Amino acid sequence: MELHGYFRSSASYRVRIALNLKGLHYDYHPVNLLKSEQREPAYRSLNPQGLVPAVIEAGHVFTQSLAILEWLEEQHPEPALLPRDPLTRAHVRALSYNIACDIQPLQNLRVLKYLQSELAASEEQKIDWIRHWIDGGFQALEVQLKQGPAPFAGGDTPGMFECCLMPQIYNAERFGMDMERYPHLARIAGNCATLPAFERARPENQPDSTL
């Protein structure tokens, strides 16, 4: 299996966590977003969107991080990323989509570049934009996570939501947000931080973090 990604990409980070949780080996191929390598023909032949990540296995290319997580779940069902119970499974998916569809895309590198290059947003305005959308999403998640004291959103083990949450918290802290304002998210993040699968997936532990 090959993973084409960027060390600080939230979507790539999600997939790294999932692969680690499932104990799957992969070869990592860095795609430098700051150098626009995702737009080069060689990479676009894998992913016409010019986005990361892309996963390749047995000649098949998989894109979109949550679609990749679903595929991993179907191909390698144990350990599970989604709960068995249909209601809890739907709940975990909704929490995950909150981050992957509603929070993170608004702070995507291409969106931030557009804000600054086309709309003349200042650095301060860019950071305010990022914090605004993270805060709104995190506050909603706080309410949704009040349902129980389990260590993770789906129960006793981490899964799809935690794969999405930890990269988003990494971004929140990178832009100076105080996670003490979100105690339920902080509690889950603290539980994740004790697990090697999450530690190995952190951006600073990737080979391209020093390039």
CATH of the domain at 193: 1.20.1050.10
Strand partners, 57: 60
Strand partners, 27: 2
**23 and 74 in a common domain:** yes
**206 and 191 in a common domain:** no
Q: What is the pLDDT of residues 105-137, one digit of tens each?
A: 999 989 999 999 999 999 999 999 999 999 999
**137 and 61 in a common domain:** no
When pLDDT is averaged across residues 192-206 and rounded to a whole number, the result is 98
**102 and 61 in a common domain:** no
Place of tokens 């090959």: 2
Q: What is the pLDDT of residues 12-70, one digit of tens each?
A: 999 999 999 999 999 999 999 999 999 999 999 999 999 999 999 999 999 999 999 99
pLDDT on residue 33: 95
Tally of domains within the chain? 2
**90 and 168 in a common domain:** yes
d(CA 191, CA 85): 22
Q: Nearest CA to 2 among 17, 19, 14? A: 19
**106 and 193 in a common domain:** yes
d(CA 159, CA 156): 10
Q: What's the token pair of residue 163?
A: 């794969």
pLDDT on residue 146: 79
Phi, psi of 57 (to 5 degrees): -145, 130
**194 and 90 in a common domain:** yes
List the domain range (segments joined by +) for residue 176: 86-198
User: The domain that contains 48 carries what CATH number?
Assistant: 3.40.30.10
**206 and 193 in a common domain:** no
Residue 147 has pLDDT above 70, yes or no: no
Cβ-based neighbour number of residue 121 at 10 Å: 16
**118 and 171 in a common domain:** yes
**172 and 74 in a common domain:** no
Q: What's the token pair of residue 94?
A: 């909704």
Q: What is the pLDDT of residues 165-177, one digit of tens each?
A: 999 999 999 999 9
Percent of the chain topping pLDDT 70: 99
**178 and 118 in a common domain:** yes
Q: Nearest CA to 52 among 20, 13, 11? A: 11
Residue 71 has pLDDT above 70, yes or no: yes
> In whole angstroms, how far apart are CA 66 and each of 62, 153, 155, 166, 209?
10, 17, 20, 14, 23
**70 and 121 in a common domain:** no
